Every structure is written in C-alpha cells, then in structure tokens.
Amino acid sequence: MENFEKIKHPEINAENLLSFIDSIQWEQGYEFSYNGSNFLLDITDAETVARGQAGLPAEYFKSTAIDGWDIYLHDTIPEAERKRVLFHEILEANLKDQGFSKNAHQLALKEEQKIFGEREEKK
C-alpha cells in the first residue's frame, strides 16, 4: 500500500484555472504566471493566418523570451472559444512543468472536455 501513496498525481484545479483565465488580457505580449508556470501570449493576426504561417489556432512552445512558455493564439479565435483554448494550453503546459510530459495533452483534454464538452470536428 505504501507504493500507492508515492505515486505522483497531477495538480489540477479546473475551477481555479477558469477563474484565473477571466483575468488574462487578450493582448500581444501579455505575460502571466499560473500554478508556478510562466506564460507569454503571442496573438497571431488574421493576415498571417490567411498566409498559412500560423499552424493550429492555438499552440505553445518553450519560450526563448521568458523562463516558461509562449502561447500562440490566432486573433480569429471567436471570443466564445478563447476560454476553452486558453484552459487547454495553460493546463497542458503546466502539467509538463509538473513532470507529466508524456500524457499532458491527454490529461488536459480530459479536463477540458469535462468542463466544455466534446470538441466539434473541423470540416
């Protein structure tokens, strides 16, 4: 039984994260910290998206500007979807910082879908 107590579990507080997201400013270069992880927003404009240079609507990478993560978001993401997108990206990066690199995406997706429901398929 002692071995089960030593198993590391991810620290996920969905309600806290949702509340925190309400304080995030949707602006280029906005810097913030959540649960020990640092972030920098990079808002990609519609022109860049149209040229196909922006990839997915939201992505994150290790930052070269701060000790943390850059979150790349299209400015074309509808306001109604921003909270969901930020929830997933922040949680996934934070889970990596917690040491859950191998399954951070799946853990974040599971939490995201508990709150927001299943994702709609893109056509």
Q: Sketch the domain layout of the chain as residue ranges.
A: 15-116
What is the tens place of the pLDDT at every residue in 53-69? 556 778 899 999 999 99
Contact partners, residue 30, CB within 8 Å, separation at least 6: 24, 40, 41
Asked if residue 72 lies in contact with residue 55, where contact means CB atoms within 8 angstroms, the answer is: yes
Asked if residue 20 lies in contact with residue 111, where contact means CB atoms within 8 angstroms, the answer is: no
Indicate if the pLDDT at residue 10 is higher than 90.
yes
**Alpha-carbon dihedral angle through residues 105, 111, 117, 120, given to the nearest 10 degrees:** -10
pTM of the model: 0.86
AA identity, residue 97: D
